[in-house]
Amino acid sequence: MAVERTLVIVKPDAVKKNAIGDIVRILQENDLKLLAIKMVHLSKEQAKKFYIVHKDRPFYDELTDFMSSGPCVPMVFEGEDAIARVREIIGATDPAKAAEGTIRKKYGTDVGRNAVHASDSHESAAYEIPFFFNALEIHE
């Protein structure tokens, strides 16, 4: 197992539910170390740039509208196999199909409003982390 870094975003729906602290706590209780955190309000253009990988998907406009609808909280976590472990902790994209005890099961509403985003690969983490954080903002 390798130590990895991954990006997690508390999406606008979970920010409105005051779930930021609970989500951070859940991840930290799973031996993931918080290295960076901030609150931002993405513009539609910034959301489109962040989710560019989905530009040809039918949900792209709805996703970018939602992600620019209110503040969100991007964070960098580090730990053993962090990318896969975080994906397991947050649960399936559809909260209705997510396992009991996962973040999306607890805080998500539907596929579009599913409380959190997390990097799904080393490649996406390598793109997503510097999208929100420069080297001076990530603390070991």
DSSP assignment letter at 52: G
CA 23 to mean position of chain CA atoms: 10
Please pick, among 54, 117, 122, 139, the residue that the annotation labels catalytic: 117
| Crossing angle of the two packed helices 82-90 and 20-29, in degrees rounded to 10 | 130
Q: How far apart are the C-alpha atoms of 83 and 120, rounded to whole Å? A: 6
Q: Which two tokens stand for residue 46?
A: 């910034």
CA 56 to mean position of chain CA atoms: 21
Active site annotation includes 117: yes
Beta-strand (E) ranges in 11-128? Answer: 33-37, 73-80, 116-118
Any bridge partners for residue 7, and if so which? 76
Q: Which two tokens stand for residue 50?
A: 């962040």
Q: Which residues are catalytic?
A: 117
